[in-house]
Amino acid sequence: MNIFRLGGDLAHLLAIIILLLKIWTTRSCAGISGKSQILFALTFTARYLDLFTNFVSVYNSVMKVVYLAAAYATLYLMYVKFKATYDHNHDTFRLEFLILPAAGLALIINHEFSIIEVMWTFSIYLEAVAILPQLFMVSKTGEAESITSHYLFALGSYRALYIVNWVYRYYSEGFYDMIATLAGVVQTVLYCDFFYLYITKVLKGKKLQLPA
Amino acid sequence: GSLVETKDEL
């Protein structure tokens, strides 16, 4: 565990908390893509299948449980409790366009052809693109609330910090994982345009509005 | 041997 990895985990946790608090306090999930949230729930379900078979540390297990619980709590709030506020007309991204390629790629490019390893690899590929429905929704409506922007910034920072962690681990431990690193780079690159808008607009107190 | 070590990440 190094400071970048911890920072990444905390940024991820912060993103999840921001999203849950936003939905809970405003009693609304307007502007949030339920499709992206489904993909995140699927991602962490596939990745943490080893929760009971591979004990790493108390920290590791607790974080896994928290991420899973938060992912399903978000789905519950969006699709059950505050269903009426869900903006499904703008959330039209086709999930199969992301799930099927991620599953196909996981079957072909993996570290080992076993169920748990292919599921882990699938989760890595799926997570890389899971935010696309959300970004698509923002581009469709042309704007995002500030709180949604903060959520996206924290979520994007998480994988960016993991990349720094992987560079650090490569030099300090000689450790590297090509699958996680390449997917992590793709994931972070997808946020670049958003990062630019966030820094130039939201941090200056303006609403995130896409240029016409 | 990255197969096992990477699983300590989240």
Phi, psi of A76 (to 5 degrees): -60, -45
| C-alpha atoms less than 13 angstroms from C-alpha of A22 in its C-beta half-sphere | 22
Give me the amino acid identity at A180: A
Residue of A nearest to B8 (CA): A56
ipTM of this predicted structure: 0.81
Is B6 in Cβ contact with A54 (below 8 Å)?
no
Q: Label each residue of B1-10 as H, E or C.
A: CHHHHHHHCC
The position carrying tokens 């297990």 is: A61
The position carrying tokens 């030099």 is: A171
The position carrying tokens 């490019």 is: A109
- The tokens for A19 are 């999203």
Are the C-beta atoms of A163 and A177 separated by less than 8 Å? no
Residue of A nearest to B5 (CA): A175
pLDDT at B1 (0 to 100)? 39
Is A120 in Cβ contact with B7 (below 8 Å)?
yes
How many pairs of residues across A and B have Cβ atoms under 8 Å apart? 30
How high does pLDDT run on average in chain A?
A: 96
Q: Is A45 on the interface with B (CB under 8 A)?
A: no
**A180, pLDDT greater than 80:** yes
Considering only CB atoms, which chain B residues are within 8 Å of A7? none
**A62, pLDDT greater than 90:** yes
pLDDT digits (tens, 9 = 90+) for A91-131: 999 999 999 999 999 999 999 999 999 999 999 999 999 99
**Which residues 90-149 of A have a C-beta within 8 angstroms of B?**
111-112, 117, 120
Are the C-beta atoms of A86 and A29 separated by less than 8 Å? yes
pLDDT digits (tens, 9 = 90+) for A12-34: 999 999 999 999 999 999 999 99
pLDDT at B6 (0 to 100)? 64
State the sign of the Cα–Cα–Cα–Cα dihedral A82, A85, A88, A90: negative
Is B10 in Cβ contact with A176 (below 8 Å)?
no
Domain extent, residue A200, equals: 3-209
Nearest to A106 by CA among A92, A95, A119: A119
The position carrying tokens 């690193």 is: A181
Number of domains in chain A: 1
Residue of A nearest to B6 (CA): A177
Is A12 in Cβ contact with B10 (below 8 Å)?
yes
Higher pLDDT: A52 or A100? It is A100
